[in-house]
Amino acid sequence: MASGSPRRKQLLEDAGFHFRILTKEVEEHYPIYLQRSDIPLYLSKIKAHSLKSDFPDSLIIAADTIVVQRREVFNKPSSTEEAKQMLWKLSNNMHEVITGVTICYKGQERSFFEITEVFFKPLTEEVINHYIEHFKPFDKAGSYGIQEWIGMVGIKKIQGDLMSITPPGV
């Protein structure tokens, strides 16, 4: 698996797969002209291709997740202030969580994506500050992980597949 995401690791383990985690540092930049659903596909392909030549006979699974609200892509926050701004924008609003997956095996490649709509309740400043301070969401696009505390107290509803919502990033 070409991902260091603890949630993705847990999902594969729960499904009974035996695997190794192998990652390479890649630049997570994408062309600005890409459509929102193409962004995580593009990034998952970069991650898969970074390992493909080193392990040509191995099954490689790579994934990337982004958060999009009104055409704005929320990447991983680089500061506490940026995380707060993202969570304020998500508060009392709907956004999309889009996960792209690329699977490579012996010269073949398949990519696909899943879109899930997430609706946040209104978040208070106290909730946002508590979450950032205790859960440090700096490795997650959109500044949150739905499986964490904020998902329990802040999510009103989701439309789509909950399992496709993995911690953004990685």
Residue 64 designated active-site: yes
Cα-based distances in Å from 40 to 31, 54, 85, 97, 126: 12, 23, 22, 10, 31
C-alpha distances out from residue 160 to 66, 97, 114, 152, 157, Å:
15, 10, 8, 17, 10
Number of Cβ within 10 Å of residue 113's Cβ equals: 21
Catalytic residue among 54, 64, 139, 161: 64
H helices of 24-165, in order, are: 38-52, 80-90, 125-135, 149-154
Active site residues: 64
